[in-house]
Structure formats: structure tokens, C-alpha cells
A and B are shown apart, each in its own frame.
Chain A
Amino acid sequence: MSEAIEASTPDVEAAPAPTKVKAENVDVFYAEKQALFGVSLDVRENEVTALIGPSGCGKSTFLRCINRMNDTIPICRVTGDIAIDEQDIYDPSIDVVQLRARVGMVFQKPNPFPKSIYENVAYGPRIHGMAQGKADIDDLVESSLQRAGLWDEVKDRLGEPGTGLSGGQQQRLCIARAIAVNPDVILMDEPCSALDPIATARIEELMDELRQNYTIMIVTHSMQQAARVSQRTAFFHLGYLVESGPTEMIFTNPDDKRTQDYITGRFG
């Protein structure tokens, strides 16, 4: 994380990572009630971007716009532009199902399918035609579980139900399931809030490894977690994006007073 700060020295200025997800002036309405007001945010490739803020400020709502999960809520209306790799994802010609294969999601409460561990991970590749034949799928399952850091614990019991694992293992299974389809972006909605500290630490380690191959956006209630895992942080408050920037800067020297109040614990 400190590499991002040292890069500001003139001689070894590293080019900023390209923008993967670009949100411009995004408004979200639930029936008549507006939940997000003109949110504009750039998410850089192969970085972990944390969205922080008090409860009900719209961070999860914004996250769910990126993979258009808000479409499943009939009263929800999204306006503005969100582009991934410079392609507007709300364009009518975009197939939502394919979008969700490119943008994976891990939910707050681990929700593995009530199938075997193998089937959980194999389902995505199977429906997207990513593998031919059982050997192919076996390889894919193994590599996904390896990258999620779960392989050693479950390699002898792939046929057992995914719901029989512990909470932390279930969440890692959900991460394996998400990365099995090789998405470009992984969205994580408070992935550790239902887990104990040790499981949380393992998943945070995992995020650091994963960001080398994926772009990660994480919503978190814990400022310490945001400080630990992310390179950039965005602070939301009452539906507005108050401030965003490099994590170190947000936590040591924020521009906005509301950000200052939040991180020092005055509210939230």
C-alpha cells in the first residue's frame, strides 16, 4: 500500500493504473425516494477500492449498480453513466447476464448453493461454457479453490455440501465461486462482517493476492479494514460521495470535514 505513496517521487513516477470502472453522475431512486445523488467515481485496475461510510449512506446501493443487481428490484431506477472498460453497462444492447459473468459479487452473508462444494465452483464455468469435459472442469475447480485459499481444507471432501462448511470457509467458497468464472471486477459487499477475526484476516490476505489479477471493490463498515486492504477509498454520506482518493490520504489528511469527523469517530 505504501508503494502508491512513494510513487510520488519525481524520478520513479509510476503511471497511475488505468481506470477500470468509471461512474459519472449516478443517481439511484427507490420509487420516489432518492438514495444516491450524482455519484462520480473512478476505480482503477488491479486495485482494491474501499467504500466506507455510516449505515444507510448508499455504499451497497452503489456497489450493486456496478453489476446491475439493482435491476432485480422493480422499484429501483438508476440514471447516469457507469462504464467498465469504457463501455456503458446500462446500454440497452448489453446482456445483463454476461455482464454479471464479468463482474462477480461476494455477499455479506455467505450464501453457497445447497449443492456439493465441487458443484458450487463448477456451476459458473459450466453455464458459461468455459470448460469442455470433466477433466477441464476438475482443473478449473481446483485452481479456483487454490486461489481462494480453500483447496487444502476441502480437497478430500469435494462431494460434501457447501453449506456444511464453517462461516469463514463458506465465504472463501463464495469467493472461489466468483473467481471461477474469471471476472474482471469483483464486488464485495461487507464480506467479513459475519466472520470472526481470524477468518477475516485470512480473507484480507486473500484480497491482497487477488488484486494482482482482478479489480476489487469492497464495501466495509470497518475503517481499519479499509485502511488495511485498500489502495483507494471513497467516503459516502447520506447518498453523496463526499470524498475519494488514495487511502493513506483519506485517513491522514482528508479534505472534507465530514470525512474527518467520520474517521475520528465523531459519528457513524
Chain B
Amino acid sequence: MTDFTANQAVARKPDFSDAHLRKRYRAEARFRMYGIAAIFAALAMLAVLLGSIVTTGVSAFTQTEIALDVTLDSSQIDPAAIAKGNYRKIVRDAIRAQFPDVSGRRDLRNLYKIVSSGADFTLRRMVEADPSLIGTTRTVWFKSSADIDQLNKGAIPRDVPEADRRVNDDQIAWFDALSGDDRTRRSFNTTFFTSGDSREPEQAGVWGAVVGTALTLLVTLVLSFPVGVMAAVYLEEFAPKNRWTDLIEVNINNLAAVPSIVFGLLGLAVFLNFFGMPRSAPVVGGMVLALMTLPTVIIAGRAALQSVPPSIREAALGVGASPLQTVSHHVLPLAMPGILTGTIIGMARALGETAPLLMIGMVAFIVDIPRGFTDAATVLPVQVFLWADAPERAFVERTSAAIMVLLAFLIVMNLAAVLLRRKFERRW
């Protein structure tokens, strides 16, 4: 204990000892480690998530195909009525030609099940495109059935008892024989990217969902961006500051936190039941999602406008610009990067929303590719949801592949946002 009266003249100095210094260095090193550990944890979780999705889904990008020699006999196909040709028989004859000694109804049925049921349509489309094929024999690659495809990809184990698998021993033997003959291959699964949903996994694709998502998000953007930006500009620059505007601000902030399914119920009650708009259409889905995205755009817009320094506004007013000219020529361009960021955040959330769209009927099984905003459609998250529920084994990999397509969509949108932001960025 120092004697204060005696040492009053001696001023206190900071503790410059080594021990004190080391204590601070240790604390700083610990803090740095916490930060790095947090980053690693986040990256690890991301890697695990993406890794599990990619490893499951990448096999969906290939499809097993079987080569068959088809004889396009003119007795089966009438050149005047190509669509009515008996393609099923042609395909079945081709299969039987590979395995002539298979007989009996049950065995034959199992044999035919090796090839996709859509083979008939594939053949029909081929002949419709080139009628000169009638009367020729050629080798055509057909998609195998989903079960054979899964067998080939190793998803169906060969060593479990026959009763526990979807493909029996005969089918495995036949398939192996075909493989031995170089009549099987795995090729790129274009069907996945070009066709709509289907009951048969090997004929199912995400294109319908992609088009539906694109149309829905377009409606969302067109509705939420202008309205949101204008609302933000009005509330921030022109509205008088009184109790009413405070109330509006509180309500908008609360709306941003409302669960999305509530907007779906609103859409169901107002848009579908009251206004009678078409169920499951992108225009209704877009309107529901726009309601959901508006608060985000407005809040981000207000924050961006507030961040523009008041000196810019004063300078513009001082030169004789009207309040409207000040906002549109000076304030808004400077606030654009922030507004665009907010919009993209809102749109990214809208991209992944399933619940509100389920409420307005987008859970339906839609096979056709939607052509307009009022056609029935589905969106990617709903498609993922439907496939995740499907019983067929082949839909497991397709679900993950659809998730990858969804993520790719998201990356494209974010890229667009980054480019747009860079275009508007200005130093001041």
C-alpha cells in the first residue's frame, strides 16, 4: 500500500511490465482464434451441406440408356398416320429380339420393364421428325427404366435377398447381358433439363418448375421493386413526420417479420376466392410473393436513402432544384446500391418460399411447361418438396439435383445484383 500523503508528488504511470503485456497479447490471440474458429465452423457447415447435396444429386445428371435394334416395319406404322403407329409393339419386339428364349407372361412383363415406358413416345417423335425412317432397321438408344437406372448407379444393392429389391435376379441378369454386349451406357440426362414433372422418374425434369419460377419471380420483381422504392422515397423524403407516419413505419417493420404462410392465406382468401384469379398461376404466386417482399424492399430503401449525406440535398436545393428533382437526380442514384441489395435479399427469399405458394395451389402435379402468366405452374421449391415426398428411389437423386438447380438460380440472381450494384456505385 502506498502512503498517499508521502507520495502525492509521484504521479501514477501505466503498467508497462512484461507480464501485463503478455496478458494482453494472450487475450488478443484468443480473440483471433475465436474469430477464425467461427469462420471455419461456418465454412465446414456450408461444405457439409453443399457436399451432401452435390454427392447425392450429381448422379441425376446422367441416365442409363439401352441400345435396341428397332425394325420400323411399315405394317406397324402407316405413313399417312404416323402418330397412330404401334410403337409399343416395335419396342417390345426389339427387346424380345435380344432375349429370344424368354417366354411366359410374367417373365415377359419383367423383361419389358427394363426399358422406360416412355420409349414408345421417343420412337414416335423420332419417326415424326424423319418419316423416311419407315421401313428401315436401326439401333436406337432408349432410356432404361428408373429401377434399372438406379441399379446401374449402384443405388440398389445386388447382395440383398430378391424380395427386398425392386429388380429381381432375372432383370439383373438381362441387364448384365446387355452391358456385356456394350448395349448399355450412361449419358447426359437432357430430359431432366427439358421436360416437366412426370410420374416416371426417368421422364421427369425441372424445366416446368424453372419456367414457373422465372415467371413468378418476374411478377414479384415488377410489382415489388417500383412500389417499394416509391414508398421508401415518399416515406423518407416527402412524408411529414407525425404520428401517422410513425405508425406506418412500425407496421412495415412488423410485416417484414410475418411468417410467409400468412401471405399465402391472404392470397387464397383475396386473390383466389374473392377475385377469382386462376389457381396455381404465376401471376397469383407473384402477387403473394410481392406482398411478402415489399416490406424488405421498403426498409432497405429507407436505410439507403438515409445514408445519403444531407449536404447533397442542400447543394441540389441551393442550385434551384425542386424536391422531386433533388431526389430523382441526386439522392436516388446514390441510394441505388443499397436499394438493389435490399431487393435482391427480398427476391432471394421469395425464390425459396414454398409455404405461401402451397396455399394458392402450386402443390398440384403440373406436367406441362407453363406458357403464360395465367397457366397453371409450379416453382422449384415446391417441385423439390413434391419429389422429396415421392416414393420412387430415383427421385432421391433428382430432389438433390433440383436443389442444385435452385442454388444455381440463386447464384445467377446474386451475380446480376453484384453487377448492377457495381454499375451504380459512385464515390463521394
Task: Tell me the dominant secondary structure on chain B's binding face.
Answer: helix
Stretch from A20-28, A97-105, A245-253 contacting the other chain: A97-105
A74-B240, A113-B330 known; A127+B311 contact, CB < 8 A = no
Q: Which of A72, A74, A107 contacts B241 (CB 8 A)?
A: A74
Q: Report the bound CA distance from A255 to B192 in whole Å.
A: 94
Q: Cβ of A157 < 8 Å from any Cβ of B?
A: no
Q: Cβ of A67 < 8 Å from any Cβ of B?
A: yes
The interface residues of chain B lying within 8 Å CB-to-CB of A104 are 318-320
Tell me if A128 and B330 are in contact (CB < 8 A).
no
The interface residues of chain B lying within 8 Å CB-to-CB of A97 are 320-322
Q: Report the bound CA distance from A101 to B334 in whole Å.
A: 24
Shortest beta-carbon distance from A72 to chain B in Å: 7
Q: Report the bound CA distance from A255 to B321 in whole Å.
A: 42
Tell me if B334 and A114 are in contact (CB < 8 A).
yes
Q: Cβ of A36 < 8 Å from any Cβ of B?
A: no
Shortest beta-carbon distance from A216 to chain B in Å: 15
When C-beta atoms are compared, the residue in chain B nearest to A126 turns out to be: B329
Q: Please report which residues of chain B, range 299-343, place their CB below 8 angstroms from some CB of chain A when the two chains form the complex.
A: 311-322, 325, 329-330, 334
The interface residues of chain A lying within 8 Å CB-to-CB of B319 are 100-101, 104, 123-124, 177-178, 181
Q: Report the bound CA distance from A111 to B314 in whole Å.
A: 9
A114-B334, A163-B427 known; A72+B317 contact, CB < 8 A = yes
What is the interface size of chain B, counting residues whose CB is below 8 A from a CB of the partner? 21
Q: Please report which residues of chain B, range 407-428, place their CB below 8 angstroms from some CB of chain A when the two chains form the complex.
A: 426-428
The interface residues of chain B lying within 8 Å CB-to-CB of A191 are none
Shortest beta-carbon distance from A36 to chain B in Å: 20
When C-beta atoms are compared, the residue in chain B nearest to A72 turns out to be: B317
Shortest beta-carbon distance from A251 to chain B in Å: 30
A123-B329, A161-B427 known; A111+B317 contact, CB < 8 A = no
Q: Report the bound CA distance from A112 to B427 in whole Å.
A: 12
Q: Cβ of A69 < 8 Å from any Cβ of B?
A: yes
The interface residues of chain B lying within 8 Å CB-to-CB of A178 are 318-319
Shortest beta-carbon distance from A125 to chain B in Å: 10
Q: 4 closest A-B pairs (Cβ-Cβ)?
A: A101-B320, A114-B428, A105-B318, A111-B311
Binding site for A on B (CB under 8 A): 240-241, 311-322, 325, 329-330, 334, 426-428
Binding site for B on A (CB under 8 A): 67, 69, 72, 74, 97-98, 100-102, 104-107, 109, 111-114, 123-124, 127-128, 161, 163, 174, 177-178, 181
Task: List, sorted by A's number, 21 A–B pairs whose CB atoms are closer than 8 Å.
Answer: A72-B313, A72-B317, A97-B320, A100-B317, A100-B318, A101-B319, A104-B320, A107-B318, A112-B315, A113-B312, A113-B316, A114-B312, A114-B428, A127-B320, A127-B329, A128-B320, A161-B427, A163-B427, A178-B318, A178-B319, A181-B319
